[in-house]
Amino acid sequence: MSVEIFVTDKAGLQKFYEAIMANHETYAPVETFGKFDFKRVARLTECDPESPVAKTRSIKPLFFPRTSRVMKYIATSAGTDVSETDEDPLAVKRVILGAKHCDARALQVLDKVYNWDYIDTDYQKRRENTVIISTRCDKADTHCFCTSLDYDVENLDAMDVLIVNGADGKIYIRAKTEKGAGLLNSEVTRHASPVTEESATPELKKQYDAFAASFRLRMDYAEVNAKLSKIFDTPEFENVSGNCVSCNTCAFVCPTCHCFKISDEKVKDAGVRYKSYDSCNNGYFTLMAGGHNPRPAKYRRWRQRAMHKFVYYKERFGENLCVGCGKCTISCPVNISIFEVVNQVAQ
Amino acid sequence: METEVKDQLVSIEKPELVAPPNWEPVIMGILCNWCSYAGSDLTGTSRIQYPPNIRIIRVPCSSRVDPWFLIKSLQTTADGVLVSGCHPGDCHYISGNYYARRRFLVTKKLLNFVGFHENRVQFSWVSAAEGPKFAKVVNKVTEDIKKLGPLHLYKKENFEKK
Amino acid sequence: MEQLLVPMICKVDKVIQETPDIRTYRLKFREEGMMDQFTYFPGQFVEFSLLGSGECTFCIASSATRKGFFDCSIKKAGVVTADIHTSLEEGDEVGIRGPFGNWFPLDDIKGKNLLFVGGGIGLAPLRSLIQYCTDNRNDYKDFTILYGARTSADMCYKDEIKEWQDNKTLKVVLTIDKPEETWTTNVGVVPKILEEVVKPVIENTMVITCGPPIMIKYTIQSLVKLGFADKDIITTLEMKMQCGLGKCGRCNIGSTYVCKDGPVFTNEQLKNLPDEF
Amino acid sequence: MNYTKQIQEIAAKLFAEGKIDVFVGYRMNGFDDNQVPVLISGPQDISKLVFTDKSVFNLVNYLKTDHTRRKRVGLVVKGCDSRSLNLMLTESQVKRENLYVVGICCEGVVDDDGQRMQNCVECMVPDAVVYDELLGETLSGSQTLTGSKPYIVNVDIAALAEKPLTERAAYFEEVFESCIRCNACRHSCPLCYCAKCCIDQETATLYNGANTTSAAFHALMTWSLHLAGRCVDCRNCEKACPSHLPLHLLHKQNESVIFKNFQEHLAGVNPGDRGAFYKYSMQDPDDFIM
Average pLDDT, chain A: 85
User: Would you state the pLDDT for residue A241?
Assistant: 85
- The domain of A290 spans 221-346
In a domain, C107, yes or no: no
- Domain match, C124 and C224 both: yes
- Domain match, C229 and C131 both: yes
Residue range B27-148, CATH number: 3.40.50
* D60: nearest CA partner in chain A: A245
Average pLDDT, chain D: 86
* ipTM of the complex as predicted: 0.88
- Count interface pairs A-D at CB distance under 8 A: 108
What are the start-end ranges of the E strands in C80-163? 93-100, 113-119, 143-149
- The domain of C26 spans 2-100
**Disruptive mutation site among B3, B8, B9, B87 for chain D (greatest number of D CBs within 10 Å):** B9
User: Would you state the pLDDT for residue B6?
Assistant: 37
Contacts of C229 (CB under 8 A, 6+ apart): none
pLDDT digits (tens, 9 = 90+) for A63-101: 888 888 888 888 887 777 887 766 555 667 889 988 888
- Domain match, C96 and C117 both: no
Residue D139 to residue B143: CA distance in whole angstroms: 54
> For D226, phi and psi rounded to 5 degrees?
-70, -25
Nearest residue, CB atoms, C254 vs list A114, A118, A312: A312
Report chain B residues whose CB lies below 8 A from the CB of A87: 1-2
User: Would you state the pLDDT for residue A88?
Assistant: 59
B21 vs A285, more confident: A285
- Of A7-11, A173-177, A268-272, the least confident: A268-272
Q: Which of A62, A12, A25, A322 is nearest to A163 (CA)?
A: A12
* Residue range A42-52: mean pLDDT, rounded: 86
Asked whether C51 and C95 are in contact (CB, 8 A), the reply is: yes
- Domain match, C160 and C207 both: yes
What would the DSSP string read from start to end of A69-107?
EEEEEEEETTEEEEE--S--GGGS-EEEEEE-HHHHHHH
Verify cis geometry, omega within 30 degrees of 0, for the bond prior to C191.
Answer: no
- Domain match, A191 and A284 both: no
pLDDT digits (tens, 9 = 90+) for A230-262: 888 888 888 888 888 888 899 999 999 999 888
In a domain, C154, yes or no: yes
- Domain match, A252 and A198 both: no
* A65: nearest CA partner in chain D: D211
Specify whether the backbone of D18 is left (phi greater than 0), alpha (psi in -120 to 50) or beta.
Answer: left
Residue A333, CA distances (Å) to A31, A242, D238, D265 in order:
21, 13, 9, 29
- Domain match, C118 and C232 both: yes
Residue D232 to residue C256: CA distance in whole angstroms: 45
- Give the dihedral of Cα atoms A149, A151, A154, A160; nearest 10 deg: -130
Q: Is the pLDDT assigned to residue C218 strictly greater than 50?
A: yes
User: Would you state the pLDDT for residue A47?
Assistant: 87
In three-state secondary structure terms, C221 is: helix
Give the H/E segment covering residue D263: none
- Domain match, A62 and A137 both: yes
Report chain C residues whose CB lies below 8 A from the CB of D202: 54, 79
* Residue range D172-188: mean pLDDT, rounded: 89
Q: Is the pLDDT assigned to residue D140 strictly greater than 70?
A: no
- Domain match, A79 and A196 both: yes
User: Would you state the pLDDT for residue D144?
Assistant: 46
* Residue range B123-147: mean pLDDT, rounded: 91
* A229: nearest CA partner in chain C: C254
Structural domain total, chain A: 2
User: Would you state the pLDDT for residue D12?
Assistant: 92
pLDDT digits (tens, 9 = 90+) for C13-60: 889 888 888 899 998 888 887 888 888 888 899 988 888 888 888 989
- Domain match, A144 and A205 both: yes
The count of C-alpha atoms lying within 13 angstroms of the C-alpha of C33, restricted to the half-sphere facing its C-beta, is 0
Asked whether D252 and D233 are in contact (CB, 8 A), the reply is: yes
The count of C-alpha atoms lying within 13 angstroms of the C-alpha of A242, restricted to the half-sphere facing its C-beta, is 17
pLDDT confidence of B161, banded at 50, 70, 90?
low
| Contact criterion met (CB < 8 Å) for C248 and A261 | yes
Report chain D residues whose CB lies below 8 A from the CB of B157: 214
* Residue range C245-270: mean pLDDT, rounded: 86
Residue D213 to residue B153: CA distance in whole angstroms: 10
| Contact criterion met (CB < 8 Å) for A267 and B160 | yes
Q: The CATH number of the domain where C83 resides is what? A: 2.40.30.10
User: Would you state the pLDDT for residue B23?
Assistant: 84
- Domain match, A269 and A307 both: yes
Residue ranges per structural domain of chain D: 4-142, 155-275
DSSP class of residue C198 equals I
Q: Is the pLDDT assigned to residue B84 strictly greater than 90?
A: yes
User: Would you state the pLDDT for residue B5?
Assistant: 40
For residue A76, the cross-strand partners are A79
pLDDT digits (tens, 9 = 90+) for C181-194: 888 888 888 888 88
What would the DSSP string read from start to end of A281-340?
TSTTSS--TTS--S--SHHHHHHHHHHIIIIIHHHHHSS-S-----HHHHH-TT---HHH
User: Would you state the pLDDT for residue D218?
Assistant: 92
What pTM was computed for the model?
0.90
User: Would you state the pLDDT for residue B110?
Assistant: 93
- Domain match, C88 and C183 both: no
What would the DSSP string read from start to end of D113-181?
TSPBPHHHHT-S--B-SS-SEEESPPPGGG-TTTTSSPPPPPHHHHHHHHS-HHHHHHHHHHHHHH---
Q: Is the pLDDT assigned to residue A103 strictly greater than 80?
A: yes
Asked whether C179 and C189 are in contact (CB, 8 A), the reply is: no
- Domain match, C212 and C126 both: yes
Report chain B residues whose CB lies below 8 A from the CB of A122: 1, 3
For residue D20, the Cα-to-chain-centroid distance in whole angstroms is: 24
- Domain match, A166 and A245 both: no
User: Would you state the pLDDT for residue B12?
Assistant: 45
Residue A45 to residue D38: CA distance in whole angstroms: 43
Report chain A residues whose CB lies below 8 A from the CB of D240: 245, 247, 249, 333
- Domain match, C179 and C76 both: no
User: Would you state the pLDDT for residue D10?
Assistant: 92
Q: Is the pLDDT assigned to residue B95 strictly greater than 80?
A: yes
What would the DSSP string read from start to end of D242-255?
TT---THHHHHHHH
Partner B, chain A 40-79, Cβ-Cβ below 8 Å: 65, 67-70, 72, 74
* Helical spans, DSSP H, in chain A: 10-23, 101-114, 121-128, 178-187, 197-213, 221-228, 236-240, 249-253, 298-307, 313-317, 327-331, 338-346
User: Would you state the pLDDT for residue B10?
Assistant: 41
Verify cis geometry, omega within 30 degrees of 0, for the bond prior to C99.
Answer: yes
Among A142-146, B78-82, C139-143, top mean pLDDT goes to: B78-82
User: Would you state the pLDDT for residue B160?
Assistant: 63
Nearest residue, CB atoms, D210 vs list A274, A297, A334: A274
User: Would you state the pLDDT for residue D73?
Assistant: 92
* Residue range D31-39: mean pLDDT, rounded: 86
Structural domain total, chain C: 2
* Domain-ending residue, one of A213, A247, A280: A213
- Domain match, A285 and A190 both: no
CA distance, residue B132 to nearest chain A CA (Å): 35
Q: Is the pLDDT assigned to residue D143 strictly greater than 70?
A: no
Residue A322 to residue A326: CA distance in whole angstroms: 9
| Residues written for chain C | 277
